[in-house]
Chains A and B, each alone.
Chain A
Amino acid sequence: MSILEADSINLSFGPRKILSNVYLQCKRGDVVGIIGRNGSGKSSLMKLIFGTLRGENQSIRVNRQYVDQLYKKPEMINYLPQDSFLMNYLTVKQVSRIFDAEQIVNIEILKPHINNRIGELSGGLKKLIEIFTMLYMQSKFVLLDEPFSFLSPVFVEEVSTHIKLQSRKKGIMLTDHQYQSVWGVANKYYILYDGILREIYQLDELEQYGYLSNKS
């Protein structure tokens, strides 16, 4: 079984400490949900694991073996960034072929749009295609940075179903502002607070770390 470990991660932007001695592990079957306030370092953590951002120090290991710039091994990992990254002139079918994720053309909700160009789709559908492409690539791990943003409730439900489905084959890490969506789909939860990653087990711990106000 493949194990992805992110260890001893430290990151600062100028005098501001973003991540402090973070350790995180993800195995096949895990859906790791990372919750945190805006600017808490969730996306930075994802980019550090993916290998497109360097911290002061970090050790990314797959099966106990150190890997530098993990993204150079697409059979190992892929990453859904917050911003749309697909070129508008490509069709959905072309995208599925380029990323070896042909299975997405069989997803009912996408079927009517298979021959559409990305630029012709709504923001929500575009995001949906990006999420499914990343989920159905032939990699062992997938990082989803705010997958539920800009999605309608029906799409959130659809994405949650496919995350659970694909977690049987791979390890998944996700972050989002909508903690309710993350809470429904993940099986391990962490909160990033003051640069430190803490595992949480109950929703009321979100109040304790200032993610939710006491009123909610």
Chain B
Amino acid sequence: MPIPNKKLLLGVRLFYREYTVFNLILTLVGISFIMTLGEISFIYIFWIKSLGYFVFGALYLMGKRKHLYFFHNLGISAFSLFGASIVLDILISLSIFIITYQIIYH
């Protein structure tokens, strides 16, 4: 039986909360890049975000690995959790950056 989507969504929501502050900082950095560099900033944002995911993943596995059992007990693997959270974050961040770009340059 596949994991009930409700549980995965709940897991992602709780996991996402774990790195809200970290994410907010990266988003603000991204916005400042858009404000100063314009269109080209998206390349930098892509790399900053990618590095951010890597750093967060490493920090989480080092410091909060035990919390993974919270998600495992809901039937969610680390791969699904990280994967779904990154997809969600890309959607949210991209929306924020595009809206910011539209407001400033159009």
A interface list, Cβ under 8 A from B: 50, 52, 69, 71-75, 78-79, 81, 83-87, 89, 98-99, 134, 137
Docked CA distance A99–B66 (Å): 17
Determine whether the beta carbon of A137 is less than 8 Å from that of B70: no
Please, which residue of chain B has its CB at the minimum distance from the CB of A75? B1
Please pick, from A74, A83, A87, the residue contacting B73 in the complex, using a CB distance under 8 A.
Answer: A74
B interface list, Cβ under 8 A from A: 1, 3, 7, 10, 14, 17-18, 66-70, 72-75, 77
Docked CA distance A74–B72 (Å): 8
Closest-CB distance, A76 to chain B (whole angstroms) = 9
Closest-CB distance, B84 to chain A (whole angstroms) = 14
Closest-CB distance, A92 to chain B (whole angstroms) = 14
- Chain B residues with Cβ under 8 A from A81's Cβ? 66, 69
Can you show 17 pairs from A to B with CB atoms below 8 A apart? A52-B69, A71-B75, A74-B3, A74-B7, A74-B74, A78-B73, A79-B72, A85-B66, A85-B73, A86-B70, A87-B14, A87-B18, A87-B67, A89-B17, A98-B14, A98-B74, A99-B73
Please, which residue of chain B has its CB at the minimum distance from the CB of A52? B72
- Chain A residues with Cβ under 8 A from B66's Cβ? 81, 83-85
Determine whether the beta carbon of A71 is less than 8 Å from that of B73: yes
Please, which residue of chain B has its CB at the minimum distance from the CB of A74? B75
Please, which residue of chain A has its CB at the minimum distance from the CB of B69? A85
Closest-CB distance, B17 to chain A (whole angstroms) = 8
Docked CA distance A64–B67 (Å): 31
- Chain A residues with Cβ under 8 A from B7's Cβ? 74
- Chain B residues with Cβ under 8 A from A69's Cβ? 77
Determine whether the beta carbon of A137 is less than 8 Å from that of B73: yes
Determine whether the beta carbon of B77 is less than 8 Å from that of A72: yes
Determine whether the beta carbon of A73 is less than 8 Å from that of B67: no
- Chain B residues with Cβ under 8 A from A50's Cβ? 72
Known contacts: A73-B1, A84-B66, A87-B14. The answer to whether A79 contacts B77 by CB under 8 A is no
Please pick, from B10, B14, B67, B75, the residue contacting A85 in the complex, using a CB distance under 8 A.
Answer: B67
Please, which residue of chain B has its CB at the minimum distance from the CB of A133? B73
Determine whether the beta carbon of B10 is less than 8 Å from that of A98: yes
Docked CA distance A84–B73 (Å): 13
